[in-house]
Amino acid sequence: MTDTAALEREIGERTAALVDEWTGRELDAGPGDVACERGYILAWVEATENANPIYWDEAVARETTGGWIAPPSMLSVWMRPLLFNPGAREQIRPLEMHFRLKDAFALPEGIVTGNEIVFHEPVRPGDVISTRLTVAEIGPVRSNRLGTGRPWTIDVTYTNQEGGLVAVESYRMFCYVRSAS
Amino acid sequence: MITVKDVSVGDSLPVLELPVTARTVVQGAASTRDWQPQHHDHAWATTRAGTKDIFLNTPNQAGWIERYLTDWTGARGRLGRMKFRMRRPVFPGDTLVFKGTVTAVDAADGWVDLDLALTVGDETATECSARVAIPRDTDDNPWNRRGDDWRP
């Protein structure tokens, strides 16, 4: 048996029971630490050199989108906790469920391999976005050039302060033990 | 302004070339408030993540893809759905080339589906399929769609 095959077998055996235990688990991550505001929006459109006038010209924004909005793809900005916050409640990391899975499965490395987002209500300055995380799927053990581990999918549901659905995002991850080479 | 009447299956979007630098990666990570070390710490990326350098993070790629799409649609273009898969990391020194093709047009409801490819040299770095609402005619504004009128 090759080293890779042996590692696949070892990971498969020690994590088999965890798959059913964790699939479908949910975590209410609550509201984000930061509200939507123009400064974050400008940093985003600056970084992506996005000249769309709805982000730069208030008259165009008013006529087109009823006022300033954030680019829909900015979603994850509103769920990330501040790295320093003296008044913080219990710290919930971005994609906390992913990190809990990594700990439970003892797969120390992880990368995002895919992402799907369905957009609904736009996010506007002043909005505070809440998230709920769900373990949608945990896949079989496999190996690639990075190492040996399991893929999994975390769904993130975003809602605004009025309970309106903003988006549903699915992250596909691969978490692994690095190859020996 | 582009409307569904101007769009056909097989249409190609203008090509966008993005020379990626360390600043692109770090500024992208900062604007997304993503301080995972593989997006700003070269030593960590190479020794822990096992990659050759820091690399573009996922939300920043989403931002670039959205910008690429709305460069084409104009201000009334409204992103409905975006699905993408990273095939290889994008590093400083890479030139990321964006290409897109229209795969479906729903003239009645004002939806356009597209396949996008983000390549570095001969390699596909990221594949994306997207669904964008664009005006059905010059009087239509997809940003006004609500409830049952918005089914991405």
Residue B28 belongs to a domain: yes
Tell me the C-alpha to C-alpha distance, in Å, between residue B77 and each of A61, A149, B22, B100.
13, 40, 31, 15
The string of pLDDT tens digits covering residues A149-172 is 999 999 999 999 999 999 999 999
Helix, strand, coil shares, percent, chain B, to 5: 30, 30, 40
Domain-embedded: residue B110: yes
Contact B143/A65, CB-based, under 8 Å?
yes
Tell me, yes or no, if B75 comes closer than 8 A to chain A by beta carbon.
Answer: yes
Q: What is the ipTM metric for this complex?
A: 0.96
Cβ contacts of B23 on chain A, cutoff 8 Å = none
Q: Write out pLDDT tens, residues B13-29.
A: 999 999 999 999 999 99
Q: Is residue B128 in a domain?
A: yes
In-domain check, residue B146: no
Answer whether residue B34 shows pLDDT above 70. Answer: yes
Q: Flag whether B17 is in a domain.
A: yes
Q: From CA B141, how far away is CA B134, in angstroms rounded?
A: 8
CB B85 to CB A43 under 8 A? no
Burial class (CB in 10 A: 0-12, 13-18, 19+), B103: middle
What is the model's pLDDT at position A3? Answer: 85
- The reply to whether B144 falls in a domain is no
> Does pLDDT of A92 surpass 80?
no
Residue A55 has what pLDDT? 98
Residue B12 has pLDDT above 80, yes or no: yes
> What is the per-residue pLDDT across A16-41, written as a single tens digit (0 to 9) for each?
999 999 999 999 988 999 999 999 99
pTM of the model: 0.86
pLDDT for residue A91:
63
The CATH number linked to B52 is 3.10.129.10
What's the average model confidence in pLDDT over A1-6?
Answer: 83
Number of domains in chain B: 1
CA distance A172 to chain B (A): 9
Question: Could you give the percent of chain B with pLDDT greater than 70?
Answer: 100
Cα atoms found within 13 Å of the Cα of residue A37, Cβ hemisphere only: 5
**A72/A42 Cα distance (integer angstroms):** 13
- Residues of the domain holding B86: 4-139
Average pLDDT, chain A: 93
Residue position matching structure tokens 């630490």: A33
Identify whether B80 is part of a domain: yes
As a whole number, mean pLDDT of residues B114-121 equals 98
- Inspect the interface and report whether the beta carbons of A117 and B86 lie closer than 8 Å: no
- Do the chains contact at B27 and A54, CB–CB below 8 Å? no
- Chain A residues inside the 8 Å CB shell of B152: 118-120
Q: Is A59 part of the contact surface with chain B (CB cutoff 8 Å)? A: no
Residue A90 has pLDDT above 80, yes or no: no
